[in-house]
Amino acid sequence: MQYEIIPVTGFQQNCTLVWCDSSKDAAVIDPGGDLDKILARVEALQLKLSQIWLTHGHIDHAGGTGELAEKLNLPIIGPHKEDEFWLEALAQQSQMFGFPAAQPFTPTRWLEDGDEVKLGEESFQVIHCPGHTPGHVVFYHEGAQFAQVGDVLFQGSIGRTDFPKGNHGDLIRSIREKLFPLGDDIRFVPGHGPMSTFGRERESNPFCSDPNYG
């Protein structure tokens, strides 16, 4: 499994290409916008883009999805159905945050906790992590010790919970009970900012560190 991070939109959202080394089958996670930039990397890396995966329904993560799916006839996988209200509000989100008008779409497949998503010979586990949004999911590749966590967890911070249906308690439980147990060595791509590991955040993140760590 290989990956490359492509920051997109004015929010510098970490859109990520993930692909299977042998088949070059690729998925784009969270194409929030800047589709030209994303497709230029797909071409440069000689990948076969075959799927769109979404962590949650916020505009900076999902804004380019409808256009990209239509252009390349791609299936849209995720997020969890609890984020349907966010996807239905993409037009309002575009206006509110000054994004280009997002093309509406309905996911091909909603994801549930414990689902698997496949890419060539590679398989990712889906972990439902509510809190920032109720239908937020994380994509985890066990063999590569890699996760794309969207806006659940950041290096030194956590996702906002002051949006509709946000829940701080749920977010902390998602991080401590679902992500940290995967292991200290897991490297993760957050929705924004630099990569980190679960161990580093368990030890030192002021919002969600584990008091019993070490």
Nearer to Zn ion, 66 or 79 (CB): 79
CA 84-86-91 angle, 5° bins: 120
Q: C-beta of 154: minimal distance to Zn ion in Å?
A: 10
| 151 belongs to the binding site for Zn ion (CB under 5 A) | yes
Q: C-beta of 58: minimal distance to Zn ion in Å?
A: 4
Kindly state the number of chain residues that form the binding site for Zn ion, as judged by CB under 5 A. Answer: 4
> CA-CA distance, 154 to 112, in Å (whole number)?
23
Contact string (CB under 5 A) for Zn ion, positions 164-203, x = contact: ---------------------------x------------
180: which DSSP letter? G
Question: Strand, coil or helix: what is 188?
Answer: strand
Q: Interacting stretch for Zn ion, rule CB under 5 A, among 68-76, 85-93, 121-129, 147-155? A: 147-155
Q: Interacting stretch for Zn ion, rule CB under 5 A, among 1-9, 75-83, 148-156, 168-176? A: 148-156
| 82 belongs to the binding site for Zn ion (CB under 5 A) | no
DSSP assignment of 113-174 equals TT-EEEETTEEEEEEE--SSSTT-EEEEETTTTEEEEETSEETTEE----STT--HHHHHHI
Nearer to Zn ion, 14 or 205 (CB): 14
Q: C-beta of 9: minimal distance to Zn ion in Å?
A: 9
Q: Cis omega before residue 79 (within 30°)?
A: yes
Q: Please list, in sequence order, all residues whose beta carbon lies within 8 angstroms of the beta carbon of residue 81, skipping any fewer than 6 positions away.
A: 110, 135
Selection from 108, 142, 112 nearest residue 127 by Cα:
112
Contact string (CB under 5 A) for Zn ion, positions 20-59, x = contact: --------------------------------------x-
For binding to Zn ion (CB under 5 A), which residues are involved? Answer: 58, 60, 151, 191
